[in-house]
Each structure stands twice: as C-alpha cells, then as structure tokens.
Amino acid sequence: MTDNINLQKLDNDPRLPALGSVDFDRMMYVRLYELFRSLSLTVNNNFDEIKRHIEQLEQKI
C-alpha cells in the first residue's frame, strides 16, 4: 500500500520528466549509468574481500 502511494506521488511530481519522453529516457539512462558505475567501483575496490568470501563458501561446499 505504501509503495503505491509513493509511486503515485512520484508519478504526479511536476519536477520529473513525463514517462515516455526523451527527457525521461535520458534521466533513466544517466541513473542506470551511475548505478552500474558505482557497482563496478565497489566490486573493483573490494575484489580481494569478495574473492576471499567466495573461497570460504567453496570450502564449506
């Protein structure tokens, strides 16, 4: 229920571009780019720790 209310507020927010417009597509592209960029930076910065956790899981199996 709360999710529906929040989505309705976002849908009616005049500061956001209209769904299906070029500006909306551009905004989504930029946000997705920022998301994947931050994910890749996190993975690259923590690669050794992630590798260690994977090795620990493999040992348990």
pLDDT in tens, 2-48: 455 565 665 666 777 777 888 888 888 888 898 898 888 888 888 88
| pLDDT at res. 3 | 53
Could you state, in order of their start, the residue ranges of all structural domains in the chain?
18-60
pTM tops 0.85, yes or no: no
For the cut 70, the answer to whether the pLDDT of residue 52 exceeds it is yes
For the cut 70, the answer to whether the pLDDT of residue 57 exceeds it is yes
| pLDDT at res. 1 | 43
Number of residues that make up the chain: 61
Residue 17: phi, psi to the nearest 5? -65, 155
Task: Show the tokens assigned to 24.
Answer: 């909306």
| pLDDT at res. 22 | 86
The DSSP code sequence of 25-61 is HHHHHHHHHHHHHHHHHHHHHTHHHHHHHHHHHHHH-
